[in-house]
Every structure is written in C-alpha cells, then in structure tokens.
C-alpha cells in the first residue's frame, strides 16, 4: 500500500523567507511523485513532478523539490516566498497497480505568507 504524509497542515513564512513544505511517502515500488497547488476556490495545478532521472526537479513559480530515496521524502522548497504563493499544497504519489493508475494525496499544507 502507498501513503503520503505531509507534516504540518499550516505553515507560515514571512515574505522573502525560505519555503519548506515536507512530504514523505511509503511505497513498495518506485513511485512517481508530484506536487500540486490549489489556490482559493480553484482546482489543482501541477507544480512539478519526479518520475526518473535527476532527483532535483524544478517547477513553476520558482519551486523545486528533491527526491531522496533513502529518506523517502520529496520536500518542496522555494528560496524566497512571495505573497502570491499563499495557497494549499498537496503532495501526491502515483503508482501503476494492475494496469490501473492509483493516486494518493497527502492531507495538504496551507501556506500563509506574512507581509
């Protein structure tokens, strides 16, 4: 079975400060890992993804994440927070199971950016 854990349902950072959103997963097979962002009253938007290859992946809006197999982690970072980054962020694991794709989401982390 696969699972995703996001530590901290709410994270507050000052504008210009480092953003770090944590995501740990469990999976019996190599997973595909994703980060999605959800702005208020909107759907989900893909930020970045890891499938194979380079473990440090860069996404939109200056975000990046590093896949660390030994730590089963895929933390999301951004060097300098902007007010427009305030949103809810979801980590997701996607596995192919029996020919079907199964998506498991973390519980989400709401990011607040303080001026």
Partner 1 sequence: GAVVSQHPSRVICKSGTSVKIECRSLDFQATTMFWYRQFPKKSLMLMATSNEGSKATYEQGVEKDKFLINHASLTLSTLTVTSAHPEDSSFYICSARPRRSPGNTIYFGEGSWLTVV
Q: Using the rule CB under 8 A, is 3 a contact of partner 1?
A: no
Q: Which of 47, 97, 54, 55 shows the shortest CA–CA distance to 72? A: 55
Query: In this structure, what DSSP letter does residue 30 have?
Result: P
From the list 47, 94, 111, 113, which residue makes contact with partner 1 (rule: CB under 8 A)? 94
Q: Using the rule CB under 8 A, is 112 a contact of partner 1?
A: no
> What's the CA angle centered on 75, arms 104 and 21, to 5 degrees?
90
From the list 1, 40, 83, 100, which residue makes contact with partner 1 (rule: CB under 8 A)? 100
Q: Using the rule CB under 8 A, is 108 a contact of partner 1?
A: yes
From CA 81, how far away is CA 1, in angstroms rounded? 34
Q: Using the rule CB under 8 A, is 107 a contact of partner 1?
A: yes
Per the document, the length of the chain is 115
- In the complex, the residues that contact partner 1 under the rule CB under 8 A are 32, 34, 36, 42-46, 49, 51-52, 90, 94, 96, 100-108
């Amino acid at each position: 079975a696969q699972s995703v854990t996001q530590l901290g349902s709410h994270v507050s950072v000052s504008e210009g400060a480092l953003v770090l959103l944590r995501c740990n997963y469990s999976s019996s097979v190599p997973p595909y890992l994703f980060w999605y962002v959800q702005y208020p009253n909107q759907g989900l938007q893909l930020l970045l993804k890891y499938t194979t290859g380079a473990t440090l992946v860069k996404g939109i809006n200056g975000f990046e994440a590093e896949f660390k197999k030994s730590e089963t982690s895929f933390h999301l970072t951004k060097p300098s927070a902007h007010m427009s980054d305030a949103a809810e962020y979801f980590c997701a694991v996607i596995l192919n199971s029996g020919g079907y794709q199964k998506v498991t989401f973390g519980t989400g982390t709401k990011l607040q950016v303080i001026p």
